[in-house]
Amino acid sequence: MSFLRHVGKMGDRKVAIIFREVPGEQHMCLVTYTETLNQHIHDAMMKAIESQIGQSAENLADALNRSYTKEGKIILQVLHKEGLLKKVQTSQVVVTPNSTTKIKLDELNKMLDEMQQGETAIKKLAEMDSSLGMQIPSDVARRMRGDQLPPVTSAPDGVLADNAIANNLLSQAQRMANEAKGLLAESARLEQEANVMLGIPIATQTTAPEAPVAKKRGRPAKATVTA
């Protein structure tokens, strides 16, 4: 096989990279020294590495947990039970997928992580683009303006109609005007209560008296008799 994953060297010793990163310790990895393995373990493990399952696995441990020795034992469990798994620094392991390629495991991990993040970002952007592409422009405009506004109608070509925009602006203006009236009425009530608490006579309060208002509605003013 011209290209083989999960194999490398630590100094002059050949290793199989079981976990390229230890969970929670990204600067560490888990390896086993292949040259010190008993033949019944070594041959079964190399067969697992070279298999399609081994070469498609992100970590060799996944493949070894599904592969067996001649005695029918799970390879990963045998390596663990016999103390053949060693935790070492990724910077000390050189990955050698073939005779002409060498790269430090920590550098390879960084490259693979960046590629994974890039693929994830591309996938998310594609999903967002697909999702946005199925949305009605009027719905997007409505959410941007606030859910309390009435739906915005759109022209056949997806362009917002001028009358729809105008209607929405009018609705918004009417709502703001109603809110302003309510605030003014509440302000007048609070001012009157404050004046009463301060002992200010009603006649000298800043709010407009009711008599002129009644006069504007057409009621005759009461005549004043002088001595």
The pLDDT assigned to 29 comes to 96
| Predicted pLDDT of residue 214 | 47
Q: Between β-strands 86-89 and 13-19, what pairing exists: parallel, antiparallel or unpaired?
A: unpaired
Q: Name residue 22's amino acid.
A: V
**Chain segment 178-221, per-residue pLDDT in tens:** 777 777 777 777 777 777 776 676 554 444 444 454 444 555 55
Residue 138, pLDDT score = 54
The residues, ordered by sequence, that sit 6+ positions from 74 with a Cβ below 8 Å of its Cβ are 64, 65, 66, 67, 68
pTM over 0.75: no
Any idea where the domains of the chain sit in the sequence?
A: 7-109, 136-204
How do residues 140-192 score in pLDDT, each as one tens digit? Answer: 455 555 554 444 444 454 444 555 556 666 766 777 777 777 777 777 777 77
Q: Could you give the CA distance from residue 64 to residue 77 in angstroms, rounded to a whole number?
A: 9
> Which of 129, 148, 156, 151 shows the shortest CA–CA distance to 140?
151
Contacts of 41 (CB under 8 A, 6+ apart): 69, 75, 78, 79, 84
- Please give the mean pLDDT across all residues of the chain: 76
Q: Which residue is it, tokens 């697992």? A: 48
User: What does the pLDDT read at residue 152?
Assistant: 44
Q: How many of the other CB atoms lie within 10 Å of CB of 24? A: 6
